[in-house]
A and B are shown apart, each in its own frame.
Chain A
Amino acid sequence: MEPISRRAFLGLAASAGVAIATSPPSKLADRLIPYVNPPEYPPSGQWATYATTCRECPAGCGMHLWHRDGRVTKAEGNPEHPVNCGGLCARGQSSLQGLYDPDRLRAPQRSGGALASWPDAITSIGDKLRNRRGRVVVLSDLQTGALREVVESFAAAFGGAALFWEPINCEALCGAHDALFGLPQIPAFRMEQCRLILTFGADFLDTWISPVEYAAAFSRMHAFREGGMGRMVYVGPRLSMTAGNADDFLCVPPGGELAIAVEMLRAIAEKGRPKGDARTLTAHLKALSARAGGLPEGVSRARVESLARAFVESPSSVALAGPAGGSGSAARDLAMAAALLNYAAGRIGSSMDFAAPHALSRAAGNRQAEALLEGLTQEDILFLLGANPVYALNGAEAALRRAGAVVCLGTMPDESAALAHWTLPVDSPLESWGDYEPRAGVHGLMQPTLSRLHNSRPAGDLFLEVARAAGKPLARPGGAGAPENFEQWLHLCWRELHARLSPLTPFDLFWHDSLRRGGAYEKPAEVSVQLRPVADSMVERAVPARLVNDSRLGTAGSTTTDAELWVWPSVMLFDGRVANRGWLQEAPEPTTSITWGSWVELHPRKARALGLSDGDVVEISNERAAIELPLLVTEDVAENVAAVPLGQGHTALGRNATRRGANAFRLLGGVEGPTAFGPVKLRPAGRSAPPTSVAPTQDQYKRELLQWMPLARLRAMNPGDGNPVVLPLPEGFDPRRDLYQGRKYDQHRWAMVVDLHRCTGCGACGVACYAENNIAVMGEEQLRVGRELAWLKVVPYRKEGSRRLGWLPMLCQQCECAPCEPVCPVFASVHDGEGLNAQVYNRCIGTRYCSNNCPYKVRRFNWRNNEWPSPLERQLNPEVTVRCRGVMEKCTFCIQRIRNAEHVAKRARRPVKDGDILPACVQSCPTRALLFGDLLLSDSEVSRLTHNDPRRYHVLESLNAKPAITYLMRIEQDEPV
C-alpha cells in the first residue's frame, strides 16, 4: 500500500470530522405517538391472547395467539379446547411463520406475474364466469362450516362441483368403514381409556388424523399408574416415531400387517368368542383372508395368537390402521381388518366411536380429486382454494394446463399457483374469521388475531364478490339469508348453532363466550353400528397376481433392485404445505435427526446388495416417476422396503422449500396391489450427497444418558426409593466432593422435571423455543458445520444393546455447580439468585470457553449476525434480546415468562404459585412430559418428583454439576405380548 499523503490525510480527517459533527440521524425512535382514541382491548404495550383454531392440518387444534401492539408473536395450545387440551405440535407453532412468510402472495396476479388491482381481478373473473361455456369446479382443502357452505353454494350457483380434498386423507378408513358398517366415516378413537393399542402402520403420534390429541391420550394410557401401564404394539415396516414409542415393534414388510391382522381375527373368531354378529364376521374374515398373504418371517403364529388374546381380554383396546397416505385396496383391506378386530373385541362405541366422526370423513380422496381433474376441458374454470394438486397429485399438472381458466386462491406462490391464470392472495388463517369442526360436536371458531399484513382478502368474501360480479349473488342454502360478506355468513351459521346449543342465552353472550373459549362444544348423539354383510364386490375382487406366491414378503422372490415403497408424512413437514417455514425445515426429524432435506431409508442388506453406502444417491422409480434421494442405511426398516418421507421436493413455494430433496408424491397413485404403495425399482445414481443430520449418533456409548427401568422393578418400588439425586440446593453440598459451600436461595430455585416415558419425541418443544426466544434459522450449510442454534434439542438414543429408541429433550440444565461459569473470563456466564445460570450478552466476548466446558453441549454460539427477512421480524418476541454475532446463548428457562409471572403475582400481592410459570417448551408439550416449578416449594409437583419419584436421575450425574433438570426414566414393559 502506498503511504498516504499529508494532503489526503488532512482531507480524510476533515471529512470524518464533518461527518461526526453533523451526526447522521439516529436510528432510535425519538417520537412518541400515542393513540387518539385507544382501542378498549388490547392495552397498549401489554400482552393479549386471542383464541382461534389451527388450520395447519385437518386435526383442527385450538390455539391461543399472543398478541402485542398489533402483531402476534407466539402460538400456544388452548387448554380449554377438547381436541388438544393445551398442547400444540411443531406445525401449529409454525403457523406464525406461515403468517409472516416473506414469500407470501401480496397482491392479485395474472399469469406471468403481472400485478392487478382487486376490482380488475374480480370483474375479470366475474366476466369469465358470466361467459362460461363449460363447468365451474372448485378444488379446496378440507373446510367445514361457513366457508364450506360458501364454496358449495358458489359451485352450485354456477352448476359446478366443489371438492374438499386433502393429500393425506385416510380415505382407506372411510372406504373400509363404509363397506363394513355403512358409515363412510373416520370415528373418534378413544385411546385414553385403552389398555392396549394395536397399530398397523398408523403413525398416530406423528401425523395420523389428530396427532396432538392422540399423543395426549397415549401419554395418559401409557403412564405408570396403580402398578401397571397400557401397552402399545406397532406392526409396520418402519421404526417411525410412533413405533419408537411402542412397547412392542413388529417389523414386517408392507403387506405383512394385513396377514397379522387377519390371523388375529381368525384366532378371535375361532377361539375367542367374538362379540357381535359372528356369522357375518366369519364371512368378512373369509373374504379378507383370500387377499392376505402368509405370516411374515419372524412372526410366529403363537405370537399372533397371544396378541389376539390380549386384544380381546384387555378391559379396553383399539386397533388402528395406517398408513396415512395409503389410498389403494391394500390400505382399505388393512383398515377393514382393523375395524373387524375392533368389532370382534366389542370396541365399537367405546374406544372406536362413530358418534363423533372426524372432519377428515368429509374430505375427498385422491381418486375423487383425480376424477375431477381428469374431466377438465378447455371450457372449464377451475378454482383452487388452499389446495396444491400440482405438488401432491400425479397428473394434476396436465389437467391444470388443459383447463380453460385456473383461479388460485391461496397464501403461498405454490406449484399450482404458478400454473394459474389468476392468483388471488387470501388472508392467512390467523387473519381470518372462520370456523372449523374437527370432529362432530367440536365447533372451533377462528378470529383475526391481528390486522392483515398484505393486500389480501378473506377467501369467503372473494367467492361472494366474484359471484356477485358474475350476476349470481350467493345466498345461504334453504333461504337462510343472503349475507353481504363472509363475516355475516359466519354469524348466520353461528346463529343457527346458537339456537341449537344454547337458545336461552342471548346470542352476543354465546358468541363472545365462544370467541373466548375458542369455540362451542357439544356432546354428539350416540349412533348404533351394525356389521353389514359382505358385499359381492368385496369377495369377487381378483386376488392380485403377485400375491399368489408368498415370497413377496421375503426377499427370495424379488430381485435386489426391487423394493416395496413406504411413503410416510414427516412429523415436521406433513404433506409439504409448510415446507417454506424455516423452523420446520431446521427442526430435526425425530427418528433420524435429519434437517433440510429428504432421503430414502434402506436396510443394510439391501444397501449392500445394491453396492451402496450412507449418503449415496439412489434413483427410486416406478411406472409413474423416478426421483433421486440420498440413502440412509438403517436397520429400522424391513428388509425389502424403501422408506421415503413426504413434504420436500417443491419446485415453487418460496426460498426455503424450493429445490430441496425430492417429492415422493410423484411415486404415488391408486395402487391395486398387495401393498399400500406398490413396488419400486432402485438404481444407484452414481454420486453422493449425504443429508444433514444434527445428531451424528444414536449410540449412548455406555454413558447412560437415557435410561430405562423395567416395569417389574418399578412396581416393587415406593415413593422415595431409587437412586437419590444430588439436589441443586444447599443440601446437595458434600465437603468430600465439593470445593465451595452451596448457594443459598431465599425466594425460588427453578427446576424442571422431564418425564422421558411421556416424551414421544415430536419436537414441538424445540419449535416453541424458536418462537419464544427469537432463535434464528441458520440454514443447511451452517448446520452442516455444526453451527446450530437450537436451545432445546430432542435427541433420539438407542437403549444399550438393543434397537429400542427413546428421546431425550436436552436443554440447559441450569446446573448448581455449572462448569460453564468458572471458565468465563468476563463473568458473562453467572449464577443468579433464583438458581438460573444466566448468560449476560453484553459482557460476552465470544471466547466460547463455556461451551467447551459444558458437558451437556447446550450452549450455542452466534457465528453471524442473523437476519429475519421482512416481515418475519414482526414475529420476534419484544421481551427477549435479539443476539448479535460473537455472543454465546442458551436456554434461559424462559426468564421473560418467569419475570412476567412474578410481576403478575406481585401485583396481585400473592406468592408465585406452582404452575404459574409455563416456559414455552412446557406449554407446548402435547403429552405434558415437561414440568417446571420451584424446588424450594415443598409441595410443588417438581419438588415432589425430584425428591420422591423412583425413576428420577440426572444426566451425567457423576460430573457433580448438580443439574436442575431431573429426568424420569422410560419404563420398559416386562415381556412382549
Chain B
Amino acid sequence: MSAEQATNPPTPRSGPSRRLRRAAAWTGAGSLLLVLGMVLLCYFYYPAGLGKEQPIPFSHRVHAGDKEISCLMCHTTATGGARAGIPPLETCMLCHRRIIITYPKVKELREHYFAGRPVPWVRVNDLPDYVYFDHSMHLLRGFDCGKCHGDVKGMDRIVQPQEFKMGYCVQCHRDNGASHDCTICHR
C-alpha cells in the first residue's frame, strides 16, 4: 500500500483542464453507449433477424429477394423428395462462372470450386430426431417455403424463424385438416 502511494505522483489540480477531461470522458462514454445501442438496435430489430455466420457470407436477400431467383433453382430436390437439398458448388457456378467474379467472397467461392473443396455450411434449420419430414408433400399441397422458413427474401443470414417442435407441426396439420396420425411423421 505504502509503496503504491510512493510511486503514484500527486494528481495535478488545475481547474479547467480537469473539467474538460470530465466532459470528454462523459462524451466518450455517451457516444460509446450510443454506438452500442445502435448496434444492438440493428442486431435485434434487423428486418428478419440475423442467423449464424457462414464460411462464405451468402445472402439469401440478394439472391432470392433482389434477384428473385426461385428457391427451387438451388434447392432442386424439394419437390421430388424428402429433403430440399443443399445445392452443390456447381450450382453457384451456373452464374458465378461469369458474374462478379472479382468480388472477394465470390472469388473465395470460386477457389473452393476449382480446388474441388466443398464449403462447410453451418446448419441453420434443425429438425428434431425421429421425425421423417417430406418437403415434396408440403409443396405439393401448395405451401410456400416461407410458411415454415420465414421471410427468406429479406434475410442476409438465414435464421430459423421458429423451432420445429411437434406442437408447431401438429397445429399446422390441424389447421389444414391434414392427418395427425403418429405414423405420418414417426416410424
Asked if A838 meets B136 with Cβ closer than 8 Å, knowing A29-B123, A34-B86, A45-B77, the reply is no
Question: Which residues of the partner chain A approach B90 to less than 8 Å between Cβ atoms?
Answer: 35-38
Q: Mark B123-138, 1 if CB is under 8 A from A, else 0.
A: 1001000101010110
Provide the bound-state CA to CA distance between A45 and B181, in Å: 25
Q: Mark B109-153, 1 if CB is under 8 A from A, else 0.
A: 000110011111111001000101010110010000000000000
Which residue of A35, A36, A43 has the most chain B CB atoms within 10 A of its CB atom? A36
Question: Which residues of the partner chain A approach B88 to less than 8 Å between Cβ atoms?
Answer: 34-38
Q: Mark A17-39, 1 if CB is under 8 A from B, else 0.
A: 00000000000111111111110
Of the candidates B120, B140, B187, which one forms a contact with A906 in the assembled complex, judged by CB atoms under 8 Å apart? Answer: B140
B112, chain A: closest CB distance, angstroms? 7
Q: Is the CB of B112 within 8 A of A34?
A: no
Q: Is the CB of B113 within 8 A of A838?
A: no
Q: Is the CB of B132 within 8 A of A832?
A: no
Flag whether B80 is at the interface (Cβ < 8 A). yes
Provide the bound-state CA to CA distance between A44 and B183, in Å: 24
B152, chain A: closest CB distance, angstroms? 16
Q: Which residue of A lies closest to B132 (CB)?
A: A879
Q: Is the CB of B186 within 8 A of A842?
A: yes
A446, chain B: closest CB distance, angstroms? 28
Of the candidates A28, A841, A899, which one forms a contact with B132 in the assembled complex, judged by CB atoms under 8 Å apart? Answer: A899
Of the candidates A35, A43, A906, which one forms a contact with B81 in the assembled complex, judged by CB atoms under 8 Å apart? Answer: A43
Q: Is the CB of B181 within 8 A of A44?
A: no
Provide the bound-state CA to CA distance between A892 and B186, in Å: 11
Provide the bound-state CA to CA distance between A44 and B137, in Å: 18
B83, chain A: closest CB distance, angstroms? 4
Flag whether A499 is at the interface (Cβ < 8 A). no
Question: Which residues of the partner chain A approach B79 to less than 8 Å between Cβ atoms?
Answer: 907
Which residue of B77, B137, B140, B187 has the most chain A CB atoms within 10 A of its CB atom? B187
Asked if A45 meets B83 with Cβ closer than 8 Å, knowing A36-B116, A834-B181, the reply is yes
Q: Is the CB of A31 within 8 A of B186?
A: no
Of the candidates A36, A842, A892, which one forms a contact with B112 in the assembled complex, judged by CB atoms under 8 Å apart? Answer: A36
Flag whether B50 is at the interface (Cβ < 8 A). no
Question: Which residues of the partner chain A approach B83 to less than 8 Å between Cβ atoms?
Answer: 44-45
Asked if A32 meets B112 with Cβ closer than 8 Å, knowing A838-B183, A879-B132, the reply is no
B66, chain A: closest CB distance, angstroms? 23
Flag whether B30 is at the interface (Cβ < 8 A). no
Flag whether B82 is at the interface (Cβ < 8 A). yes
Q: Is the CB of B187 within 8 A of A33?
A: no
Flag whether A895 is at the interface (Cβ < 8 A). yes
Flag whether B47 is at the interface (Cβ < 8 A). no
Flag whether A920 is at the interface (Cβ < 8 A). no
B111, chain A: closest CB distance, angstroms? 12
Q: Is the CB of A836 within 8 A of B183?
A: yes
Flag whether B57 is at the interface (Cβ < 8 A). no
Question: Which residues of the partner chain B approach A802 to less than 8 Å between Cβ atoms?
Answer: none
A906, chain B: closest CB distance, angstroms? 6
Q: Is the CB of A880 within 8 A of B187?
A: yes
A window 897-931: CB within 8 A of B: 899, 903, 906-907
B window 80-105: CB within 8 A of A: 80-83, 85-90
Q: Is the CB of B183 within 8 A of A46?
A: no
Q: Mark A835-876, 1 if CB is under 8 A from B, else 0.
A: 010101110000000000000000000000000000000000
A750, chain B: closest CB distance, angstroms? 11
A window 875-889: CB within 8 A of B: 879-881
Q: Is the CB of A838 within 8 A of B117?
A: no
Q: Is the CB of A903 within 8 A of B77?
A: no
Flag whether A833 is at the interface (Cβ < 8 A). yes
Question: Which residues of the partner chain B approach A899 to less than 8 Å between Cβ atoms?
Answer: 132, 134, 183-184, 187
Q: Is the CB of A906 within 8 A of B137?
A: yes
Question: Which residues of the partner chain A approach B112 to less than 8 Å between Cβ atoms?
Answer: 36
Provide the bound-state CA to CA distance between A36 and B112, in Å: 8
Q: Mark A750-783, 1 if CB is under 8 A from B, else 0.
A: 0000000000000000000000000000000000
Of the candidates A36, A44, A834, A892, which one forms a contact with B89 in the assembled complex, judged by CB atoms under 8 Å apart? Answer: A36
A657, chain B: closest CB distance, angstroms? 33
A818, chain B: closest CB distance, angstroms? 14
Flag whether B6 is at the interface (Cβ < 8 A). no
Flag whether A896 is at the interface (Cβ < 8 A). yes
Q: Is the CB of A34 within 8 A of B81?
A: no
Flag whether B179 is at the interface (Cβ < 8 A). yes
Flag whether A229 is at the interface (Cβ < 8 A). no
Asked if A43 meets B77 with Cβ closer than 8 Å, knowing A32-B86, A34-B86, A36-B113, the reply is yes
Q: Which residue of A lies closest to B179 (CB)?
A: A833
Q: Is the CB of A35 within 8 A of B118?
A: yes
Flag whether B1 is at the interface (Cβ < 8 A). no
Q: Is the CB of B80 within 8 A of A841?
A: no
Given A36-B88, A37-B88, A838-B182, 8 more pairs with CB closer than 8 A: A28-B126, A34-B85, A36-B117, A43-B77, A46-B81, A841-B186, A881-B187, A903-B134
Q: List 5 A-B contacts (CB under 8 A).
A: A32-B122, A34-B86, A35-B118, A36-B116, A45-B83
